[in-house]
Structure formats: C-alpha cells, structure tokens
Structure 1
Amino acid sequence: MTNQVGQPTTPEVADEASTEASETATGSITTLLPDSVTGTGVVPGIAYAPVVWKQGRPETLPHEPDVAQEDRAQEAAHLETAVETVAARLEDRASQVTGVASNVLSATAALARDRGWKRAALKLVKGGTPAPQAVVAAIAQFITTFEKLGGLMAERTTDLRDIRDRVIAELLGLPEPGVPTPAQPSVLFADDLAPADTAGLDPSVITALVTQLGGPTSHTAIIARQLAIPCIVAASKIGKIADGTRVLVDGGAGTIQLGIDEQEGARLVAEDAARREAIRSWRGPATTKDGRDVELLANVQDGAGARKAAESQARGVGLFRTELCFLNSEDEPSIEEQTGIYSEVFAAFAGHKVVVRTLDAGSDKPLKFANMEHEENPALGVRGVRIGLRDIELLTNQLDAVAAAAAARDEDAETPAWVMAPMVATIPEAKRFAQLARERGIKPGIMVEVPSVALLAPAFLEHVDFLSIGTNDLSQYTMAADRMSPHLATLTDPWQPAVLTLIAMTARAGADADKPVGVCGEAAADPLLACVLIGLGVTSLSMAASAVSGVGAQLAAVTFAQCQEAAEAVLSASDSASARERARTILG
C-alpha cells in the first residue's frame, strides 16, 4: 500500500493517508506541502539529503480460500520454517553488532520464536486459515493485549509488527521489508522503526532518521544516539513528503525543512560537520570553561560495550544495565556465571568507578526467570527492586556476584564497587537494600525514578551513599504519560519544568548531605540539558559512550555561572519548549 505521494505505508496509517489525499484533491501536492514539520528532536545534528521511505509491509490477499484439510500440516510446517528463518536472520544480525543493538536484536529474535503468538497462529492454520492471514490475526491479538497493558509494554508492539511483516514476506517469497539501501546519502523516513531496522544502519548512507511515531526513549532514539545519527521522532506530519524530496533535518531543534536551497543546505551541513569534528577531537578533561570539574561516565550493558566505552573519555561506568545480559536466559544465571560477566566490565575500567544496577526486570524488559506471569499494568507493577525484595535470593545472588567480580579486579583499585537498586519507592526498601549491599562490602545507592524518592530525598540519603536519577522513568511517572507513546512525547520530555524541579530538589538534598547525585537517564546525553543539570547541582552524568565527547565539548564552551543561570531560568518556564529555548539563549 502506498499513500498519495508514493511512499509505503501501513494499515495503521492508511486512514490518515486517505484524509491527506482528500485534502490535496483540489490543488497540487507541491503547493500544499508544509515549509517545515516539527517533531521531537532526540539526537542533535544537521543533515541535508533526499528522503527515502522505509519499505512497507507486504500485502496479503484479503479473502484467500481456506486451506484444504490434507494440506494443513504442510501449511503449518511452512509457517514454522518461515518463523525460524526470520528468527535466525535476526540472530545473525545480532552477532554482527555489539552493545544495545545486539541486545535488542537478540530480544526481537526471541520474540519471533515466542510460543504464545506462534501457538495462536498454528491453531488458526490447523483450522484452515492460510498461514499469512493466521500470522496477521495471531499477532493482532497480542498487539491489542500489549496496548491495553500500556506502559513500557507498548514498545513491544513495534517489534511485533516488524516480526509479522518479516514472517509474511518469508511466507510469500517476497523481499524482506524494512530499510532500503539507497544509492546516495539519504534521510530515512518511516512510520516507526523496529530494532531490526535501526541496528544495522550505515551512518554514511543514512544521514538522519525521522519517524512519525516513537518517543525520546524508544529503541530508535537509543540506537540513533549510539550511531550518532541525527534523529527526530513523533513528527506526525511527514506523511505528505515524498521519496526523493530534499529536506534539511535539524535533530537538535526537531525540525524538518523543505525548499532549502542546495547551497544553503551544504553550508549548514558543513558547519555541523565542523562542530562534530570539534566534538570528535575533544579529549577532556571534562570541565566547564572556567575550570569546574564534571564527572562524565558511560552507560554499558556488557563487557564488549564496556571495552568500547573505555576507549572514550568516560571516567568510569555510571550505569551497568545487568538485565540486558540475561534477556534470553530461561533460568536464573548462577553466581559464577554472573561473576564472569560482571568481571569483564570491572576489568575494562580497572581502578575506576563502576556503578552496577541490579536487575531492572519487568515491564519492557521481561526476564523469564524473574517476572510475574501477568500484570494489568506492568509499568506500575512488580519490577526492579520489587522483584528482588519479593525473591530475596535472586537479589542476594546478584549482590554476591557483584562483590566477587569487584574483588577479582585490580587490587590497587581505590574505588569500591557501587551498586544501585531500580524502582525504589519507599524508605524501608532503600534501607533493606543498603543493608544487603553493605554486608558484602559494596557502596549502596538507589535510582531516583519514582517521584516519592525526589520528594523525600533527604530521608532516603540517611540510608544510602548516593542517588542516580533515571530521567526516562522519572519523566513518565511525574507527568503520568506513557514514555513510549508518540502522542505524549512532549509530556515525557525531560525538559519538562516539573521533572527538572524534582531533579533540582534531589541534587540539593545530595549537596546538603555531601553525597553524590548523578543522572544516568537519556537526558544526560543531551549536551544542552547536560549543562542545565550541572547547574542544578548534579555531580555526574552517565550516557552512551558515543555521547561523552559531545557533552564534554559543550561543557567546555560555557561557564559554571552560565549553567546555573540556565538552570534557574528553566525552572520558571511553563513547558518543555520554553525551557529548552531559555537554556539555548543563555548557553548558546
């Protein structure tokens, strides 16, 4: 299916495309195209290139006849083979990349093999439904369920649709849907992008990403940051822009402009390239223009990611996402197995700070050996430390492994292992976690994701040694908005003054208690927001290793007084857009 200007679309946006077609029926498309479209900018940078749309899903015949009784076993086998082919292809891609990209591809491969949707599809086939229609119907059931659950589970619907389209293409003998390979550098447009689409992108060919859906913490945004590709999400009005149209994408401002002169576009890209080169050549140390020291750390997910991060200017690890090591594990890993995995990260940053987050299982990161079987709203359910305190052996085993891995690293290391619990909401939870960590000689801290912790930060700091703010979830819970919803992207923007006010309260409590308060959410990777966070009193910033030099270069261009002035200005702003603009005016 294509819309009125020729780019592929999906049934989910077909109605919108029809509406747009009727709007243009009385005039030429060219004259009705907007001069610019605005979305949510998530990765800064400038790109000027023609648009290339993601290839749409394969079409299936709406009224294919039932499969004859004698052919149903063969049709079921055909379906199983197609599913396994798609899953194996995803696993192969996962093996060719590292870090977050590898983990999300592996998780998507596991979802492709999920017994639940496959069982539903096979049941339909055995009842006579052709395999392609059975896949559509079975996955539609699960998409509806996930959407009803809301919260972070909604992010999985993009993965399910991607699996559906790949399996159908395999069944029909069609080319695999997804990202095309353009002959020239291009800007990729899409309704949405699944991990399988973004993980293998070549930044020399795809110079920017723009999606109609998605949010600032979606897989698309996270992987785009890792690849340092300018990225805009939730740009709902790009549907009228056809393949081949030259656009200027500003990932920082969140704008897509049409009608830009080629010479002007080239000039702006060159200026951005010079800025990026200055960022690439930045070697630290991380200080403001007037010499105030700033601790920049890396977010990692395994030993390979840690070794790559160690090549950057990051001073240590501010967030080791341990749950990403075990997404495909059927059973709880042994203490010895966990120790081996954690040791790789400690070895990569021998002698430096390493902050380990205990399993943040649940919601969008289900672990088969840890999760509740069913919850009505998993984002507000038993996740994070709530699982650990419910299954205390799961938590103590992990703490034992962290302690063993820390003990095995460089004996001259002056910094003990730091460990923090996610989704803490009450003081007794923090107190119990701190007790368990200290019994093992580990420095205890907690994540600030639930507003109750920010509101009572002084009381929490009586029991733990540090706080680390997870801006992704803090934004979601503060603004009562699903962080995966493209319709609510402006609400879950970490520039929201209410979110920044909670960060300021937390940082102030840390200063009063003389204990560090860091930020490890995606907000830390925004160079402009990083300056504001430092001005608010945050003591460390942890981010994807690829973002460290950009943040460091920005900090080096401003004084601490400017950071404080910008921080004061954003707290009195009325919304995220005005907060961002106030900071931009002060910081440049």
Structure 2
Amino acid sequence: MTGSLRAETQGTGTPLSGASMLHGTPVVPGIGFGPVIRPGRRPDVPVDTTVVDEAARGTELERFREAASVVAGRLRGRAELATGAASEVLSANAAMAQDRGWLKAAEKLISAGTPATSATDAATEKFAAMFQKLGGLMAERVTDLRDIRDRVIAEILGVPEPGVPTPTVPSVLFADDLAPADTAGLDATLVVGLATSLGGPTSHTAIIARQLGIPCVVAVAGLDDVQEGTSAVVDGITGDIVLEPDAVLAADAVETDRAELDRVSRWTGQGSTSDGHAVDILANVQDGAGARAARKTAAAGIGLFRTELCFLDRDVEPTVDEQAEIYGQVLEAFDGHKVVVRTLDAGSDKPLRFANHADEANPALGIRGIRIAEQDRGILYRQLDGIAAAAAATGSSPWVMAPMIATAAEAAAFAADARARGLKPGVMIEIPAAALLAEHILEHVDFLSIGTNDLAQYTMAADRMSSQLASLTDPWQPAVIALVAHTAKAGAAAGKPVGVCGEAAADPLLACVLVGLGVTSLSAASAAVAHVGAKLSSVTLAQCIDAAAAALKTDSSTAARAAAAAVLN
C-alpha cells in the first residue's frame, strides 16, 4: 500500500502538527484513524480467605462447573458463527475452558474449602506459570487462559461478561493484549485500527486482525499511557502510532488507503508481476471450512494445510478413514488446483494428547514436527495413508511436506515414505541448518516451503511470541532474508520450486522482495491474498530484484523495509 501516514508527511518534509508518535511492529497493513477506545475492566477477583463450610462445598462446585460450561458454550457458539482462524482459535479456547487438568485443579481447591472465584483464579495462575515456563506459543496462551478465568468469574459473580465495548463512531482499539474471543468479535466497520503493547506478528490478535482486515500494530512501547478518547492514527504499514495528528493529513492518508483497498478488491489473479513473471498466490488453511472460504478468493490453490489444527482436541488419534475424510474436504474445495498438505506440526505450543509428548525443558527445541515420527513412525505412516486415501477418493494429486526438517537424511527418509504412497514430497525450511544445506535437501525432495515464522525465531534466537523481542523476530531481519535468498538460489539451481508459507508472505511489500529473491510461490491468510496479488501486479520483476538486493545490503529490519519501499513505492 502507498497510503502510509509516514509517506504522506515525508512527501512535504513537514512533521505532523502537534503530534507525538509511538512505534511498534506492523502486522496488518492499512490506516485507521479515530478516537481511542479500550476494553472494559476485567472482574476483580474478590479477596476471600474464608473457608467454605463442608456442607456448602457441593453447591460451590456446581457454581464453578456451571460457569465454566456456560463460558465454553458461548465460545463454541461464536466459533460456529466465525470462519477461518477466528473459528479455529475460539474453538481451541472453548476446549481450554473445559480442560480436565484446569477444571480438576480448581475443583480440588473448592473441595478443600476455597471459594469458587478464588479457586478459579488460583488454578489459572498455576497453569499460567506452567505455560510461561514452556515459552513459545504456549506462553501466548496465557492471555487466552486468563480471559477464560475472567469470563468464568464474571459468570460466577453474575456480572456482565468482560470484553470490548461497541463504539458509536469508527474508533481505534488500544489494549495490552486481546483475547481471541474479543478479537474475533470485532466489527471492522467500527474498530478501524488495533494496537497492542504485547503480542507478536504471529499472536492470536495479529492472526485474527489479519483475517478481519483491521490495520494492526503490536508490541507498541508506551501504548498503556494513552488515554481513552485521544485522537490517533494506527499505521499498519510502517508500525507508527500517531497521537493527536493533524486531522487533514490523517484524513488524506485514510482516503489514500481506501483507494488502495478499492484497487486491491478488484484484483482477481492470476499472480504475476506487471511484466508477466508468474508467481503462485496461494492460501493457508486449517480445515475444510477454511478451504471453502479461501476458494472464494483469487487464491490459485493451498500452499499450507495445517493438518495438526484438526486434531488438537482429540484424545485418541483419528483413524486413517477419519483423516481421509478431513483431508478430502480440503482437496475437494480446490479440485484441480495445487494443494500442499503439511504433516503434523505437533509438539511445543501444539501438543497432541495422543502423541505422548514428554515434558521438555525447552519444547520449541525439542520433539516437534517430523521428530515425533522418530519416536512413533506409525503416526506419520497413518497420516500419509490418510492423505493418499483422500487423494484417491477425490482424484487429486496433493503435495506433502514435513515440518522441522534439519538434515538431508531426514528429508530423504520422509521423501521415501511419501513416494511409496504416490505423493509428491517436499519439506519445510524453518531451521537455519536446513536453509544452509538446501541444495543437499533438494537432492531428495521435489519442492521446499519456507516457514518464516520459525525461521526468524531460530535464526535470531528469539521467542517469536515475546513482545519484547518482536523487532528481532521481524521477518524483515536481513539475516532471515539472507537465508531465504540462499534457499531460493538452491531451488533455482535444482530447477525445483521454493515457496514461502509463513506470515512474511502476507506482507505485500515483503512479498515483492521474496519474489526478487527467487521465491516461486507465496501462501498467506485468505484475507491477504488480494493484497499480495495486487501489489505484485503493480511492480516489475526487475523492481522486485532491485528491492531484494537493496534489503540484503542493510543491517536492520527497519532499514531493510525502508530500502525495499524506496524501490517499490
């Protein structure tokens, strides 16, 4: 997009009159302007040190169980009304509200005489401490867990459910962080911008905001000090938050942005640069419903089918037939089109109950992804059997890729297993070792797909869910771009496709840089497909190559973004 407020002001060299500026990590492009609103207060947990009479403890248990059930039911209802990532996250939170471990921890306290509200809080903090210790996306779930606690306590106390107020005029929402239940319910016509002091580019807030198309900036220092009612601009392109801006300049930036959105909405594919260099623009999905929604966009296929998200709430491994039915829904939605199925990326922040994950000191560096197969090859074999069965039933030819590949030997073993079932094998490039040895891995597989979320995390040795480290895990980091360049060069030399399916592919500006590096396909959230395709269609391949070269010469993510923008805008 070209309507950033920074671009507007830089054009004249005149700073915004009377404005002060904050800065964070941009995650959803666009410009939002309006008064600041904030989420309503969470219920106070009563300080109650009394011991409940033994005769009344049964009643107290029922109050807790009923409240937890009501909250889970509300979240499930919202999940059914939502689509894509919002539905997925709400469903996961509904399951969390009925998590047996959490329920039992609270029930044990209540049975010993602790009041239901205090027990709910204590059980939550016990699990929150556990999640924070695990780090990664598990730490991100602390916000979700505490949101469930607040909703359950509100239900026990009989007070209104906490959440985001419905503004009467288009407004920008500021918060420390947002629970998925709040983010998924936002009205994009009234909440026109979103900024949080916590979170990262792959947080639930960012993912759902991207699906809703709400301009969003995360990890904004100083945001908590901004008062409600303050006039503000959220610039999801540059990451700037402008307080009390010049109203005329702000309005002009919004109008420019709307004109760009109108142009984007008219893009219908096929993916290519303005001079005809073809690039597949694909969608990331997690189930059949998500695939059917993606089919309504201009996506040329599916570049990432996250299969593990279908099974997070399962106690028992789905049978081959059950898996074939699930995979078949996605293949049917994109009949005749490219579909890339990722095998289970379980472990770390996405533990599967039936995979018997061991407790690990650092699960993000532990048994996850393809490494689970080293402990139980049967899980992988049965999944590949399910994919092959779905392919046969639908007459499709899906591509399959394994996550967390670190060595050529791992790639070779997976490729043999996939080819034995008539499937086209590839692997994810998420570990720097795999990127550096891409040419050797390509001797065994037919394609590569770069997961920039994890690649940034492992390259920069920075938890991708840490708001304090969000600038390090920015995919614009030159070290990350250099690894993408090395991988794409290896693909070109081998004559094999190299795609990007991480969140980097959803950034229209960065998408052009990726194409300039030699990436052959881009897969992003459905809501980002048109933005990426439209931007790519407005530039030449030579511009993309020049932008990539400019970014590679820089020494920071901010400089890389600016260097690319200077070429492409």
TM-score of the pair, normalised by structure 2: 0.95
Q: C-alpha displacement at 1:68, in angstroms?
A: 2.3
Task: Write the letter of the residue equivalent to 2:312.
Answer: L
CA contact (8 A) 1:151 1:377 kept: no
Q: Give the superposition deviation at 1:233.
A: 0.5
1:4 matched residue in structure 2: none
Q: Distance in 2 between matches of 1:225 and 1:150?
A: 24
Counterpart AA for 1:302: D
Give yes or no for the alignment of 1:54 onto 2:39: yes
Please tell me whether residue 544 in structure 1 is matched to residue 529 in structure 2: no
- Work out which of the residue numbers 203, 220, 223 in structure 2 matches 1:218: 203
- State the shift of 1:428 in Å: 1.8
Instruction: Report the Cα offset of residue 504 of structure 1.
Output: 0.5
d(CA) in 1 for partners of 2:82, 2:450 = 29
In the other structure, the counterpart of 2:14 is none
> How has the CA–CA distance of structure 1 residues 373 and 116 changed in structure 2, closer, same or farther, with 3 Å as cutoff?
farther
Distance 1:394 1:515 in 2: 28
For 2:34, what is the secondary structure of its paired residue? strand
Q: Write out per-residue CA displacement over residues 388-412 of structure 1, whole angstroms, 9 at most, x where no aligned residue.
A: 23211111111111111112224xx
Is 2:144 aligned against 1:163?
no
Q: Is the 8 A contact 1:362 1:383 kept in 2?
A: yes
Taking the aligned partners of 2:382 and 2:259, their CA distance within structure 1 comes to 49
How many Å apart are 1:439 and its aligned residue? 0.4
Contact 1:507 1:536 in 2 (8 A): yes
Q: Identity percentage over the alignment? A: 60
Shift of 1:151: 2.2
Partner of 2:409: 428
- CA distance in 2: counterparts of 1:388 and 1:194, whole angstroms: 33
> Which runs of 5 or more residues in structure 2 are unaligned?
1-17
For residue 555 of structure 1, report the CA deviation from its aligned partner. 0.9
How far apart are residue 65 of structure 1 and its match? 2.5
> Counterpart of 2:15?
none
**Cross-structure match for 1:244:** 229
Find out whether 1:498 has 2:483 as its counterpart: no
User: Residue type of the partner of 1:292?
Assistant: H
- Quick one: distance in 1 between partners of 2:70 and 2:197? 29
Supply the AA of the counterpart residue of 1:502. L
Measure, in 2, the Cα distance between the counterparts of 1:87 and 1:377: 30
Q: Which residue is equivalent to 1:95?
A: 80
Residues 48 and 118 in structure 2, CA contact (< 8 A), matched pair in contact too? no
Aligned counterparts of 1:121 and 1:387: Cα–Cα separation in 2: 32
Q: Judge which range, 527-536 or 359-368, deviates more.
A: 359-368
Q: Which amino acid aligns with 1:500?
A: I
Are residues 1:196 and 2:181 paired?
yes
Pairing 1:451–2:423 present = no
1:509 matched to 2:509? The reply is: no
**Matched residue of 1:437: which SS?**
helix
Distance (Å, rounded) in 1 between the aligned partners of 2:234 and 2:274: 29
Q: 2:270 touches 2:300 (CA, 8 Å); kept in 1?
A: no
Counterpart residue type for residue 446 of structure 1: V
* Structure 1 position 576 matched with structure 2 position 561: no
Residues 41-190 of structure 1: pairs in structure 2 closer than 5 A = 41-190=26-175
Of 231, 235, 246, which aligns to 2:216?
231
One-letter code of the match for 2:373?
Answer: G
Which stretch shifts more, 106-115 or 212-221? 106-115
> TM-score, normalized by length of structure 1?
0.92
State the distance in 2 between where 1:244 and 1:384 align: 46
| Cα separation, 2, equivalents of 1:200 and 1:406 | 36
For residues 215 and 292 of structure 2, the distance between their equivalents in structure 1, rounded to whole angstroms, comes to 25
Structure-1 residue corresponding to 2:3 = none
Between the aligned partners of 2:295 and 2:73, the Cα distance in structure 1 is 31
Q: Which moved more, 1:144-153 or 1:532-541?
A: 144-153
Helix, strand or coil at the partner of 2:475: coil
Deviations 1:48-101 (A, max 9, x none): 111110113111222442222322221122111111111111111111112111
Q: CA deviation at 1:572?
A: 1.7
- Structure 2 counterpart SS, 1:307: helix
Is structure 2 residue 462 aligned with structure 1 residue 481? Answer: yes
Report the counterpart of residue 283 of structure 1 in structure 2: 268
Q: Per-residue displacement from partner, 1:211-245 (whole Å, max 9, x unpaired)?
A: 11000011111111111110011012111211121
Equivalent residue of 1:37, what SS? strand
2:362 is aligned with 1:377: yes
SS in 2 for 1:369: helix
Which string of whole-angstrom CA distances, capped at 9 and with x for unpartnered residues, describes residues 497-537 of structure 1?
Answer: 11111101100110111111000000000000000000011
Check whether the contact 1:490–1:576 (CA below 8 A) recurs between aligned residues.
Answer: yes
Q: For the Cα contact (< 8 Å) 1:361–1:371, is it kept in 2?
A: no
Matches within 5 A, 1:295-374: 295-374=280-359
The superposition leaves residues 440-460 of structure 1 with CA deviations (integer Å, 9 ceiling, x where unpaired) of 110000000111100111111
Counterpart-to-counterpart distance in 2, 1:243 and 1:328: 39
Aligned residues: 552
Query: 2:260 & 2:59 partners in 1: Cα distance?
Result: 59
SS at match of 1:144: helix
- Pairwise mapping of residues 262-273 of structure 1 onto structure 2 (< 5 A)? 262-273=247-258
Taking the aligned partners of 1:88 and 1:100, their CA distance within structure 2 comes to 19
SS of residue in 2 equivalent to 1:274: helix
Aligned residue for 1:18?
Answer: none
- TM-aligned CA distance change 1:238 to 1:68, over 3 Å: same
**Deviation of the 1:436 alpha carbon:** 0.5
What secondary structure is seen at the aligned counterpart in 2 of 1:171?
Answer: helix
Change (3 A) 1:371 1:179: farther
Question: Tell me, which stretches of 5 or more residues in structure 1 are unaligned?
Answer: 1-32
Q: Which residue of 1 aligns with 2:277?
A: 292
Is the CA contact 2:45–2:121 (under 8 Å) kept in the aligned structure 1? no
> Cα deviations across residues 285-333 of structure 1 (Å, max 9, x unaligned)?
2211222111111111111111121121111111011111112112111
- Partner Cα distance (2:345, 2:352) in 1: 9
Q: Of 449, 453, 457, which residue of structure 2 is paired with 1:472?
A: 453
How far apart, in 1, do the equivalents of 2:132 and 2:126 lie? 10
**Counterpart-to-counterpart distance in 2, 1:442 and 1:567:** 33
> Shift of residue 128 of structure 1?
2.1
CA distance in 1, matches of 2:390, 2:48: 59
2:255 is matched by which residue type in structure 1?
A
Once residues 365 and 144 of structure 2 are traced to their aligned partners in structure 1, the CA distance between those partners, rounded to angstroms, is 22
Distance in 2 between residues matched to 1:236 and 1:137, nearest whole Å: 30
Structure 1 residue 518 corresponds to structure 2 residue 518: no
The 3-state SS of whatever aligns with 1:505 is helix
Q: In the alignment, which of 443, 456, 471 is matched to residue 462 of structure 1?
A: 443
Which residue does the alignment assign to 1:439?
420
Instruction: State how 1:551-562 maps to structure 2 within 5 Å.
Output: 551-562=532-543
2:23 paired residue number: 38
* Larger mean Cα displacement after TM superposition, 118-127 or 376-385: 118-127
Structure 2 vs 1, CA of residues 455 and 168 (structure 1 numbering), >3 Å: closer, same or farther?
same
Q: Does 1:256 align with 2:237?
A: no
Of residues 543, 546, 559 in structure 2, which corresponds to 1:565?
Answer: 546
Please state how far the C-alpha of 1:371 moved relative to its aligned partner: 4.2
Q: Is the 8 A contact 1:49 1:185 kept in 2?
A: yes
